[in-house]
Amino acid sequence: MSADQRAESESHRLEDFRNLGPASARILRAAGIRSRTDLERAGAVAAFLAARRAAPNVTLNLLWAIAGGLQNHDWRNLTQREQHALLSGFRTACNGRNDTAESVKKRRKKR
C-alpha cells in the first residue's frame, strides 16, 4: 500500500468519524461497515440496521450519531424533523419485521 493509499485509508477510519467512539466503530465493523465511504454508500438507516443485526442492543443514538456525522455536525443538533425522517426510514426498512425500537423496548420489559 502506498503512502497516499495509507493516508486516504486512515482519513476514512470509523474512529475519526464525527460522533462515533471506539465501541460504535467496533459494532459497525462487525456489521461490515469499515470506513466513512462505506457509511456514505449505505446511508444512516441502512448502516444502523446492519449495526442492529450485529449488536441488537444498539440504541437510536447510534442512528442519530451516524446521521449527524454524515452531515458533519453533532448528533444532538439533528432537528426533530430529521430525527422523525430517520425513524420513519428505519420503520419502513423494518417493514413488518419485529425490529423496531418499540419492539426492542417491549422485549426488554418482558425480561
Residue with the larger pLDDT of the pair 30 and 104: 30
- Give per-residue pLDDT as tens, 35-72: 989 999 999 999 999 999 999 999 999 999 999 999 99
Q: How far apart are CA 47 and CA 90, in angstroms?
A: 10
DSSP per-residue string spanning 30-50? HTT--BHHHHHHH-HHHHHHH
H or E segment and range at residue 102? helix 101-110
At residue 94 the predicted structure's pLDDT band, cuts being 50, 70 and 90, is confident
**pLDDT value at position 80?**
95
